[in-house]
Amino acid sequence: MNYKTIYNTHILALVLFAVITVLYCYPILNGEKISQSDYMQFLGMSKEIVDFRAETGTEALWTNSMFGGMPAYQISVYYSNNILVYIDKVLQLYLPRPIGIIFLYFLGFYIFMLSLKINPRISILGALAFGMSSYFFIILEAGHNTKAHAISYIAPSLASMIYCFSNKNDNKWMYLITFSFAFLCLGLHLRANHLQITYYLLFILFFFWVNYLINALQHKTISQFIKKTLIFFVAGVMAIAINIGNIWSTYEYSDYTIRGNSELTNTEGKSQSGLNKEYATAWSYGKLETFNMLFPNLLGGSSHTTLTEKSNTYEALRKNGISKKDSQNFIQSVPLYFGPQSFTSGPVYIGSIVWLLFVIALFTLKKRIKWILLTLTLFSIILAWGKYFNFITDIFLNYFPLYNKFRTVSMILVIAQFSIPVLAILGFNEFLKSPMSSSKKRKIILYSFCILMSISAFFVLFKNILFEFSSLSDSQFPPWFINALILDRIDLFNSDIYRSVFFIFLSSLTIYLLINKNNSNQPMFIYILSLLVLFDMWFVNKRYLNANDFELKSKIEAPFKLQDFDKIIQRDTTIYRVYNLNERLDQGARTSYFHHSLGGYHGAKLGKYQEVIDMHISKGNMHVINMLNTKYFIVPDQNRQPIVQKNNEALGNAWVVDSIILVKNANQSISALNEFNPANTVIIESKYDKYLQSFTPNTNYKIQLVEYQPNRLVYNVNAELSCLAVFSEIFYPKGWVAYIDGVQVDSFPVNYILRGLFIPSGSKEIIFEFKPKSFFVSAKISFFSSCLLIITLITSFIRLFFYKR
């Protein structure tokens, strides 16, 4: 290809990616957005933070609307000094979030293909093969935007490593250019702020780094290898520096979350570190479920599949007296999934055509990278099996750094979703360039076709031996309904296998014709193959993200309607908490949207608070509920409609105690919550007894919260004697600072999760402010890093532009 053709192909690729993105999400043209369940929860959990930002123009960094109070780092915090915020918007074509991420899927993988020196036309094929993977659209429908965002930058991040290590020009300017590109790509990935995906990216980078190390040893170029490793490493350090606000705050916070180290110990004196195995492996991918990557509806597809009126389920509903309207409504969300997971939004379908190219690559590609990518694929699949492959899972959970900090082990399949299309496209590119005879190429096509046909035939012939087509959740339905479900599952099972066979046949025929035509016709057949990939993936993805998932932006931005019981509670203008007994404490953010809630919705809540939920709040311990200033309950009435009950025993925002229970450790502290009266007694661990040297009982006092902001609490205190006050606020040591009449003093944890403070006699003003060092120092670091990125990018651009002059 000449330079003009290459340039035109690049333009074609960008236009094509943009058009596909907009056409797939065409409701955005009418001002609509994706209605995402997790985004609704985000709006609930972030309401107080967003309102504070709108009113003051500053970041709250803390919210009291969820779980009694928690840092806002993993909810909604803006880091304005990061130039990558604006670069990312440009790369997404300023498309509404999260639609622009789809464009990034394509663009990132296209850049990666070019870094491997793949023909631009085949690179377009690769970008479509990767970018249309069903999982990437399913997570957008669910609202996992940060995950999708981080995935979109996996490919360009690896591309930056390839450009760095493949650069044979030992020139300081080329080193600067590769450094700038790596700095940019790694920085954009880290800005997406999904550390679990970043963790998986590190596996990919490590495998490729080992490949370059082996090459360096073979060619005796270790000095260059070390130099390039340092360049890439420094670029990674700068990528961390420019995103230091996110990373530092998350790292600091993680130690205190359910993913950190618990202060509680078991009978052997050991504490829990990270997530327990049951929680971490709850979403493990079944071994046979892995074949969903080839046949999307192999195990029923989704836990809420849409059926037609021709389905067995619809007919069964009508025959058993269910009205037409109710039957039509029910088939909009049918639990057809019968795999081992408790529920799923859809399969990880990679594409039947991609698998054909993958098998062709196994026959064709002779380079070491084949084994790197194949190892990555198997590594990803085996770890995704989780509790269904305990031997490997236990090794990683117990011994591999940070692995036990993450849940949903099946998420590691993103590595296979990357490595499989990479190997497929590399092999296909090699297949077309290879000097091997046409007859040998035809044999490879035939062998690949037969392998996939054999797998298809195996599942069709032995399906009744392999599967029972029933799930544990079926027991809630009557037998006649279960029988209809099973018939629909079998129909979907068969139809999707035949569907994959159809696309495998068409693509095999296309490749067969391609190798039998002259080179002038090759682009046409590559574009036909690209079109087949697009059709294959498009209609599967539309099962999970389609026009029905879009709603008007105005409706989405107001996800919860103010009800009468909310209005009753909001008449009280004091600061208090609400306990909604109509929803699980950890499964909904609706209450947080309108009130300060005991519960909420977050995957990284404070660990000590979760322990109190498990051991006390969920069991109705009113001592704990009262000390958390729970002034209102939302409970169901006789008709299961929510009503309000006021709790007159709530202890308020702060109070003074006249006795102390001194305990030895965290175990005794949390256990003592069962047997104390928080109104006059406080539980303190012995390691904090230095704060109690001047303690005297005091019953003559007045303490009142006079000013409230999420990150600033002001109290007026009037006490004749010095006293020990308990504040109904969650203790978090990394950022909350206490002042008495302007002088900084130490607060300390009491009652396991609350704050305590020793107050001298007299009239005092007490201020609690949340000023985490991680946020304010990192803002300066991010600013200087942004300046460095701008300088290196501009310098690199100028050098590239004038490079040949």
Q: Which residues contact 78 (CB under 8 A, 6 or more apart)?
A: 53, 59
Whether pLDDT at 797 is above 90: no
Distance CA 168, CA 353 (A): 35
Residues 344-361: pLDDT tens digits?
999 999 999 999 999 999
Residues 550-562: pLDDT tens digits?
998 888 888 889 9
Whether pLDDT at 803 is above 60: no
Distance CA 435, CA 657 (A): 86
Average pLDDT over residues 579-584: 88
Least confident of 308-312, 527-531, 629-633: 308-312
pLDDT at 254: 86
pLDDT at 73: 86
Return the half-sphere exposure (C-beta side, CA atoms, 13 A cut-off) of residue 396. 24
Residues 375-421: pLDDT tens digits?
999 999 999 999 999 999 999 998 898 888 888 899 999 999 999 99
pLDDT at 760: 86
Whether pLDDT at 568 is above 70: yes
Buried b (16+ CB within 10 A) or exposed e, 709-740: bbbebbbebebebebbbbbbbbbbeebbebeb
Distance CA 542, CA 131 (A): 14
Distance CA 110, CA 122 (A): 9
Contact 698, 681 (CB under 8 A): no
pLDDT at 36: 86
What is the CB neighbour count within 10 angstroms for residue 519?
7
Could you say which DSSP state residue 545 is in?
S
What is the CB neighbour count within 10 angstroms for residue 218?
9
What rounded mean pLDDT belongs to the chain? 91
Tokens of 588: 């909904």
Average pLDDT over residues 305-331: 90
DSSP-derived 3-state class of residue 531? helix
pLDDT at 271: 67
pLDDT at 805: 45
Burial of residue 562 (CB within 10 Å: 0-12, 13-18, 19+) is: exposed
Average pLDDT over residues 361-367: 93
Measured between its terminal Cα atoms, the distance across the chain in Å is: 23
Whether pLDDT at 35 is above 60: yes
Is the sign of the CA dihedral 50, 54, 58, 63 positive or negative?
negative
Return the half-sphere exposure (C-beta side, CA atoms, 13 A cut-off) of residue 269. 0
Strands 748-750 and 754-759 turn out to be antiparallel
Read off the pLDDT band of 802 (50, 70, 90).
low
What is the CB neighbour count within 10 angstroms for residue 431?
22
Q: In 3D, which of 583, 607, 608 has the Cα closest to residue 595?
A: 583
Buried b (16+ CB within 10 A) or exposed e, 524-543: ebbebbbebbbebbeebbeb
Indicate the pTM of the whole model.
0.91
Using DSSP, how many helices (H) and how many strands (E) does the chain show? 30, 20
Read off the pLDDT band of 40 (50, 70, 90).
confident
Residues 494-515: pLDDT tens digits?
999 999 999 999 999 999 998 8
Residues 465-488: pLDDT tens digits?
999 999 888 888 999 999 999 999
Render 704-759 in DSSP notation, one character per residue: EEEEEETTEEEEEEEESS-EEEEEEEE--TTTEEEEETTEEE--EEETTTEEEEEE
Whether pLDDT at 155 is above 70: yes
pLDDT at 7: 84
By percentage, how much of the chain surpasses pLDDT 70? 97
Q: In 3D, which of 689, 752, 745 has the Cα closest to residue 717?
A: 745
Q: In whole angstroms, how far apart are CA 424 and each of 233, 300, 428, 429, 493? A: 29, 27, 6, 9, 25
DSSP-derived 3-state class of residue 580? strand
Q: Which residues contact 457 (CB under 8 A, 6 or more apart)?
A: none
Average pLDDT over residues 716-722: 85
Contact 356, 184 (CB under 8 A): no
Q: In 3D, which of 744, 713, 676, 427 has the Cα closest to residue 575?
A: 713
Could you say which DSSP state residue 574 is in?
S
Contacts within 8 Å (CB) and 24+ apart, 167-175: 167/228, 170/224, 173/799, 173/803, 175/227, 175/231
Whether pLDDT at 518 is above 70: no
Residues 266-285: pLDDT tens digits?
766 666 666 778 888 888 99
Q: In whole angstroms, how far apart are CA 244 and each of 249, 751, 781? A: 8, 34, 7
Cis status of the peptide bond prior to 98, with omega within 30 of 0 = yes
Residues paired with residue 657 on neighbouring β-strands, in sequence order:
724
pLDDT at 555: 86
Q: In 3D, which of 679, 787, 727, 717 has the Cα closest to residue 575?
A: 727
Per-residue three-class SS string for 658-698: CEEEEECCHHHHHHHCCCCCCCCEEEEEHHHHHHHCCCCCC
Q: In 3D, which of 543, 65, 626 has the Cα closest to residue 334?
A: 543
Contact 228, 165 (CB under 8 A): yes
